[in-house]
């Protein structure tokens, strides 16, 4: 009886269990300046709510001294709220990524339970055990919230398709409206792909047409949630439509890009690493079993997956833009793992976990060799051993998925921050004080805004052609070591008084979180670093200067 009651609890509350586990796994070290980040996070997500708050409003987001019109504001509003409640800090900004990642995993659990009448715990754990959720769930970015709201819309639509109750389709519409407020029409497009696939595979077109009144009212609700903000922006800022047109042009929407089908497919499969081979096998199996009852559900998941990939053949994008397809992929993987028996499953699972182990061991040995985070590296190696033991002892695949999720937590949330990427001197905010700050020809140091708790109204980025504005600047300018000579020469040419106050060495992310060494580092530099077991010479240098206008300098003299 006790065993039965426990199983019943898991069946009934599987999504809640996964949500709590997701928070536990994604939360560690999100408050650290050296945690995983990227330029869109520290230069937009952190600073936009700060500057919006400094402007005294909230409806129009601001960044770099101008309205932030390229993206809808829902995430910025959420971070603004947490800044006001918790103060301006990394935890307040990134907690929404944690909640979105845990929520997406819970949604995968709900989708699996709705489709296959089982707990869905495995689907939720696999979602948490993908590299994309392990990374994006620790950052304040748009992609995971978009994926969460889109996936919830799909789940509610499935509930509506089974019951015909209007409440479910209205919940789906509300979720879609929120997805629009996160990242524009992308979520609606991907939801339409999933819905059209479901209507075709499950032959629900008659049900859809017979309930056209509910569909119409739900569409009105989507518009009611989505449109007030862009309409207001058009009224307040006449340039809004031009900004949107330029954003569309920058993405190259509608044009097939050379090599994009293969790179896009690779990116889609890479999102669910280390489950990529399992996903491929599940996709192939869904085609062969399309006529069976459960096979039709697999076929729908496959068409949902590929249908979400195809639009990105015609858009210049990063792989993380395809995050909304993760639930389709992870639910499909979970069903394949629970249904397939024998050597085929054992071999693919063994290969997948061996690849995960190989990369993880290399990562851990890198840290041990250079003496960074050695205790955490050893713990991570123990987690690798546990994952392999569970895999090759043919333990429950749910335990294997859980061990992978734990390993990602240890590496991304525990080990990586020890590398010191984006680290700054602890007293830097005291040196700068309340004076204005600028970053010359770059966005470095990346965590300066969040450390100083103020954004573009005081923290500005000057490109070389804008340097003349420094004539009226009274504050500090941060310059990368590679730009020092150019900065000093231009300052002298323009008659700007600058005084070098100090410098420090630090890694910083360049496009990808794994690229952190200085840009001009050669193979010989890396070889020397390995021989010396020191990464010091690979750290870029950042110098900071005290800049004062001519009239203030003359007055002091």
Q: Determine the pLDDT at residue 438.
A: 86
Distance CA 72, CA 184 (A): 6
In a domain, 131, yes or no: yes
User: What would the two tokens of residue 307 be?
Assistant: 């249908």
Examine the domain organization and report whether 52 and 72 are in the same domain.
yes
Distance CA 88, CA 449 (A): 10
Are 517 and 385 found together in one domain?
A: no
pLDDT at 466: 61
Write phi, then psi, for 508 (nearest 5 degrees). -150, 150
Phi (first) and psi of residue 259, to 5 degrees:
80, -5
Q: Judge contact between 404 and 387, C-beta under 8 A.
A: yes
* Judgement on whether residues 400 and 533 belong to the same structural domain of the protein: no
**Three-class DSSP labels, 88-142:** CCHHHHHHHHHHHHHHHHHHHHHHHHHHHCCCCHHHHHHHHCCHHHHHHCCCCCC
Same domain, 251 and 398: no
Claim to verify: residue 500 and residue 518 sit in the same structural domain: yes
- Report whether 313 contacts 261 (CB < 8 A): yes
- The answer on 231 and 197 residing in a single domain is yes
- Enter the DSSP assignment of 256: P
8 Å CB contact between 147 and 100: yes
CA distance 246 to 486: 32
Verify that 242 and 156 share a domain, yes or no: yes
Whether 84 and 190 share a structural domain: yes
What would the two tokens of residue 404 be? 């992978």
* Contact by Cβ (8 Å): 505, 541: yes
- pTM to 2 decimals? 0.93
Q: Are 139 and 93 in contact (CB under 8 A)?
A: no
Residue 439 lies in a domain: yes
Residue 286 Cα to chain centre, angstroms: 29
> What is the separation, in whole angstroms, between the first and last Cα of the chain?
87
**Helix and strand counts by DSSP (H, E) for the chain:** 26, 7
Residue 285 in any domain: the answer is no
State the Cα–Cα distance between residues 491 and 470, nearest whole angstrom. Answer: 9
Final residue of a domain: which of 255, 276, 300? 255
Instruction: Give the domain-ending residue among 199, 225, 255.
Output: 255
The last residue of one of the domains, among 383, 401, 419, is 419
- Does residue 343 form part of some domain? no
User: Does 499 reside within a domain?
Assistant: yes
Those residues with Cβ within 8 angstroms of residue 112's Cβ, 6 or more apart along the chain or in another chain: 118, 119, 120, 122, 123, 124, 331, 334, 335
Total domains, the chain: 3
Phi, psi of 510 (to 5 degrees): -120, 100
Query: 403 with 439, same domain?
Result: no
pLDDT in the model for residue 472: 75
How far is 186 from 247, CA to CA, in rounded Å?
13
pLDDT at residue 457 in the model: 41
Q: How far apart are CA 371 and CA 529, in angstroms?
A: 12
Instruction: For residues 81 and 149, state if they share a domain.
Output: yes
- Mark whether 386 and 451 lie in a shared domain: no
Cα separation values, 501 from 245, 476, 498, 544, 545, Å: 44, 9, 9, 6, 5
Radius of gyration of the chain (CA): 25
pLDDT of residue 6: 57
Q: Are residues 513 and 466 in the same domain?
A: yes
Whether the CB-CB separation of 207 and 344 falls below 8 Å is answered with no
Instruction: Give the separation between CA 303 and CA 320, rounded to whole angstroms.
Output: 20
Q: Would residue 290 count as lying in a domain?
A: no
Q: Is 440 helix (H, G, I), strand (E, B) or coil?
A: strand
Per residue, the 3-state secondary structure of 294-311, as one string, reads HHHHHHHHHHHHHHHHHH
Q: Which two tokens stand for residue 132?
A: 């994309």
Residue 372: the pLDDT is 95
Give the whole-angstrom CA distance, residue 165 versus residue 93: 37
Burial (0-12, 13-18, 19+ Cβ within 10 Å), 491 = buried
Each residue's pLDDT expressed in tens, for the chain with a length of 557 residues: 454 455 566 667 899 999 999 999 999 999 999 999 988 899 899 999 999 998 888 899 999 888 999 999 999 999 999 999 999 999 999 999 999 999 999 999 999 999 998 889 999 999 999 999 999 999 999 999 999 999 999 999 999 999 999 999 999 999 999 999 999 999 999 999 999 999 999 999 999 999 999 999 999 999 999 999 999 999 999 889 888 888 777 666 655 554 467 788 888 999 999 999 999 999 999 888 766 666 789 999 999 999 889 888 877 777 888 999 999 999 999 999 999 888 889 999 999 999 999 999 999 999 999 999 999 999 999 999 999 999 999 889 999 999 999 999 999 999 999 999 999 999 998 899 888 888 888 888 889 999 999 874 444 556 555 666 666 788 899 999 988 988 888 888 777 888 999 999 999 877 677 788 888 889 999 999 999 999 999 999 999 999 887 655 444 43
C-alpha 437/C-alpha 321 separation (Å) is 32
H/E/C letters for each residue in 532-549? HCCCHHHCCEEEEEEEEC
Q: What does the alpha-carbon distance between residue 88 and residue 451 come to, in Å, rounded to a whole number?
A: 9
Please tell me the predicted confidence (pLDDT) of residue 255: 58
Range of the domain at 511: 428-556
The answer to the question of residue 267 being in a domain is: no
* Integer Cα distance of 404 and 402 in angstroms: 5
Tell me if 181 is assigned to some domain: yes
Residue for token pair 């006001």: 84
């Amino acid at each position: 009886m006790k065993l039965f009651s426990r199983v019943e609890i898991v069946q009934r509350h599987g999504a809640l269990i996964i949500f709590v586990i997701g928070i536990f796994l994604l939360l560690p070290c999100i408050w650290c300046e050296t945690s995983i980040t990227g330029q869109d996070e520290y230069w937009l997500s952190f600073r936009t709510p700060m500057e919006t708050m400094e402007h005294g409003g909230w409806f129009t987001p601001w960044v770099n001294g101008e309205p932030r019109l390229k993206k809808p504001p829902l995430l910025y509003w959420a971070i603004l709220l947490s800044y006001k409640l918790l103060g301006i800090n990394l935890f307040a900004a990134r907690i929404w990524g944690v909640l979105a990642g845990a929520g997406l995993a819970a949604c995968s659990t709900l989708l699996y339970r709705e489709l296959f009448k089982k707990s869905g715990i495995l689907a939720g754990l696999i979602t948490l055990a993908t590299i994309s959720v392990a990374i994006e769930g620790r950052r304040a970015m748009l992609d995971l919230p978009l994926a969460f709201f889109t996936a919830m819309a799909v789940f509610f639509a499935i509930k509506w398709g089974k019951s015909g109750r209007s409440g479910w389709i209205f919940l789906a519409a509300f979720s879609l409206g929120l997805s629009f407020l996160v990242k524009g029409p992308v979520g609606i497009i991907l939801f339409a792909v999933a819905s059209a696939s479901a209507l075709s595979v499950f032959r629900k077109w008659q049900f859809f047409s017979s309930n056209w009144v509910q569909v119409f009212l739900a569409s009105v609700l989507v518009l009611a949630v989505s449109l007030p903000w862009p309409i207001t922006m058009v009224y307040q800022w006449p340039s809004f439509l031009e900004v949107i047109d330029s954003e569309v042009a920058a993405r190259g929407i509608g044009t097939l890009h050379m090599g994009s089908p293969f790179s896009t497919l690779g990116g889609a499969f890479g999102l669910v690493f280390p489950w990529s081979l399992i996903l491929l096998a599940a996709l192939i199996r869904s085609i062969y079993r399309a006529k069976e009852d459960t096979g039709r559900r697999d076929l729908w998941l496959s068409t949902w997956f590929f249908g979400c990939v195809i639009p990105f053949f015609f858009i210049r994008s990063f792989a993380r833009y395809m995050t909304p397809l993760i639930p389709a992929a992870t639910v499909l993987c979970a069903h394949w793992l629970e249904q397939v028996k024998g050597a085929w499953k054992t071999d693919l699972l063994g290969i997948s976990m061996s690849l995960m182990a190989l990369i993880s061991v290399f990562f851990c040995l890198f840290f041990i060799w250079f003496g960074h985070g050695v205790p955490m590296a050893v713990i991570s190696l123990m987690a690798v051993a546990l994952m392999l033991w569970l895999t090759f002892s043919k333990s429950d695949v749910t335990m294997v998925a859980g061990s992978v999720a734990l390993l990602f937590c240890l590496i991304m949330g525990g080990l990586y921050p020890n590398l010191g990427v984006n680290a700054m001197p602890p007293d830097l905010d005291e040196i700068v004080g309340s004076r204005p700050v600028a970053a010359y020809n770059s966005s470095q140091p990346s965590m300066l805004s969040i450390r100083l708790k103020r954004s573009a109204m005081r923290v500005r980025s000057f490109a070389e052609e804008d340097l003349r504005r420094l004539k009226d600047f009274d504050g500090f300018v941060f310059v990368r070591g590679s730009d020092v000579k150019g900065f000093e020469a231009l300052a002298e040419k323009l008659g700007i008084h600058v005084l070098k106050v100090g410098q420090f060495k630090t890694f910083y992310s360049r496009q990808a979180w794994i690229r952190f060494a200085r840009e001009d580092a050669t193979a010989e530099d890396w070889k020397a670093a390995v021989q010396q077991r020191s990464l010091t010479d690979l750290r870029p240098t950042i110098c900071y200067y005290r800049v004062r206008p001519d009239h203030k300098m003359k007055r002091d003299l």
